[in-house]
Amino acid sequence: MALSIIHRATGIALYFGTLLLVWWLVAAASGPAAYAHVQAFAGSIIGRLIVFGYTWALMHHMLSGIRHFIWDLGYGFKANEREALTWGALIGGIALTVLIWIVAYANGGGR
């Protein structure tokens, strides 16, 4: 499986995506006008797509990282175990992303 390159790619995406987090926090500290800009961007179609992608990258990178932890601890090296961990990270990452967005919308993300 080519999952290790996805781990890297999501890591690089998250790296530059932290700019969004910085923008959000700095805007919150700056005042209502700056905060409204962030909200307008994050609420737009492109903004939502980026944040959705960011959510997936974060969840996938986390689960894929946990997979690396399991290997670091010396487990999960058999062929079927590696396959299971890889699919677990792929499916789990998508499932967690969808779950987070359902919870987010239920909590007023659609406002």
Partner 1 sequence: MSTSDTPKRSLRTPLGRVRNLGAAHSGTSDFWRQRITAVAMTLLMIPALVIIVMLLGRNQVYAAQTLSSIPVAVILLLFIFASAWHMKIGMQVVIEDYVHNEKLKLVSVMLNNFFSVAVALASTYAILKLSSGV
Q: Which residue has the tokens 């699919």?
A: 87
- Letter for the amino acid at 79? A
The stretch among 28-36, 74-82, 83-91 that binds partner 1 (CB under 8 A) is: 28-36
Q: Give dist(CA 62, CA 103) in Å, integer.
A: 19
Q: Is 8 among the residues that bind partner 1 (CB under 8 A)?
A: yes
Is 20 within 8 Å of 54 (Cβ atoms)?
Answer: yes
Q: Is 14 among the residues that bind partner 1 (CB under 8 A)?
A: yes
- Please work out, in degrees rounded to the nearest 5, the angle formed at the alpha carbon of residue 92 by the alpha carbons of 91 and 97: 105
Query: 48-77: which residues touch partner 1 (CB under 8 A)?
Result: 62, 65-66, 69, 72
Judged by CB, which is closer to partner 1: 60, or 80?
A: 60
Q: Give dist(CA 90, CA 71) in Å, integer.
A: 17
Q: Residues 1, 26, 84, 95: which binds partner 1 (CB under 8 A)?
A: 26
Name the residues that contact partner 1, by CB under 8 A.
8, 11-12, 14-15, 18-19, 21-22, 25-29, 31-32, 34-36, 39, 62, 65-66, 69, 72, 100, 103-104, 107-111
